[in-house]
């Protein structure tokens, strides 16, 4: 390929990136994700997502195919760039065929950032650095000094740091167990997790200021907790489903899947019923869960909540003092 042809190809990709980013922002806006905090629209319009996903994987028959921004094939590069600005999650790191890191769906990211309810001067901890894209959005809004992102794997944090630098941002990128937080950077006003929890790490409460907000995926939903003090937090789930890579570290086991024998198929296959089972983590057997689910009219996620107190957690329906409260296993 001649130098002239290469330069033109790069110019064309630059034009495509700008138009694709603008189209993505319009798509996110149409989803309503910016409605509660329109300031995030400017952040998504400013941050080039393709800098954070120099390659990613798409599922194909029998495994994954790698899309790469430096492919010698111009059609492959264009396909990579268009995919980078799709409103879709992108698998970015595999280990032994298992997904260990990804770039989340942008409209879901926008909704979560809006629900974080940041204010000027807030210090934010992100659990799960991923590609660094979310940390860049936070840094654009709040400033580098107020943003910390942590991940367990050095190769992930190093790549995130490189992507952030390429985009012009330098938040604190820490390699460590996200379940332990980042005490040397505390206290935080907001904590956001981009990985699924089995329970809320108590270290997050001790590192969050009273009145702070924790937003995290849990039981295929998103829990929004208000921190009362170092030992107590409480809040409701948001309405949307959410599926993320699990939080790793601290020997955190995945719960055993429940046996659904005796439960009608329409419940077994219903994602709200499966959410209830995942939330209660064995505190309800499937038949009890089904009876409640039917009696209460297939409750939406936002009717459920979580209370964290001391070393224990309680899930509840509608009211933490109401009739449906379940102590969760430690």
Residues known to be catalytic: 101
End-to-end CA distance of the chain: 61
Side-chain-side CA neighbours of 47 within 13 Å: the count stands at: 26
Q: Among residues 96, 214, 190, 208, which one has the least CA distance to residue 141?
A: 190
Tokens representing residue 243 in the block: 């599926």
CB atoms within 10 A of CB 32: 12
Rounded-to-integer distance, Cα 137 and Cα 112, Å: 12
Q: ∠ at Cα 267 (266, 273), nearest 5°? A: 145
Residues 83 and 58 sit within 8 Å (Cβ to Cβ): yes
Supply the DSSP symbol for 196: B
By CB atoms closer than 10 A (0-12, 13-18, 19+), residue 11 is exposed
Tokens representing residue 59 in the block: 């599922």
Phi, psi (deg, nearest 5) at residue 305: -145, 180
212-241 in b/e burial notation, b at 16+ Cβ within 10 A? bbbbbbbbbbbbbbebbeeeebbbbbbebb
* Helix axes of 106-116 and 133-142: crossing angle, nearest 10 degrees: 40
- Give the distance, in angstroms, between the CA of residue 90 and the centroid of all CA atoms in the same chain: 12
Phi, psi (deg, nearest 5) at residue 71: -60, 140
């Amino acid at each position: 390929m001649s130098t002239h042809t290469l330069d033109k190809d790069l110019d064309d990709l630059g034009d495509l990136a700008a138009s694709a980013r603008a189209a993505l922002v319009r798509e996110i806006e149409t989803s309503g994700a910016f409605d509660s905090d329109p300031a995030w629209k400017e952040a998504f319009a400013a941050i080039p997502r393709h800098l954070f996903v120099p390659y990613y994987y798409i599922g194909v028959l029998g495994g994954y195919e790698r899309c790469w921004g430096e492919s010698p094939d111009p059609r492959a590069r264009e396909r990579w760039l268009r995919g980078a600005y799709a409103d879709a999650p992108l698998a970015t790191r595999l280990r032994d065929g298992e997904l260990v890191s990804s770039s989340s769906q942008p409209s879901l990211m926008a909704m979560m950032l809006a629900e974080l309810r940041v204010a000027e001067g807030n210090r934010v901890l992100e659990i799960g650095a991923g590609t660094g894209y979310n940390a860049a959005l936070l840094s654009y809004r709040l400033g580098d000094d107020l943003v910390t992102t942590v991940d367990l794997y050095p190769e992930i944090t190093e790549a995130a740091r490189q992507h952030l630098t390429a985009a012009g941002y330098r938040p604190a990128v820490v390699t460590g167990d996200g379940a332990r937080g980042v005490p040397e950077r505390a206290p935080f006003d907001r904590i956001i997790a981009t990985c699924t929890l089995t329970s809320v790490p108590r270290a997050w409460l001790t590192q969050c200021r009273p009145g702070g907000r924790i937003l995290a995926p849990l039981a295929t939903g998103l829990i929004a907790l208000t921190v009362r003090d170092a030992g107590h937090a409480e809040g409701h789930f948001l309405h949307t489903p959410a599926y993320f890579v699990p939080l790793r570290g601290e020997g955190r086991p995945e719960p055993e899947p429940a046996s659904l024998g005796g439960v009608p198929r329409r419940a077994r296959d219903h994602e709200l019923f499966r959410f209830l089972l995942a939330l209660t983590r064995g505190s309800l057997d499937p038949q009890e869960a089904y009876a409640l689910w039917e009696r209460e009219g297939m409750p939406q996620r936002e009717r459920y909540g979580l209370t964290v107190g001391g070393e224990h957690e309680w899930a509840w329906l509608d009211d933490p003092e109401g009739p449906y409260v379940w102590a969760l296993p430690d």
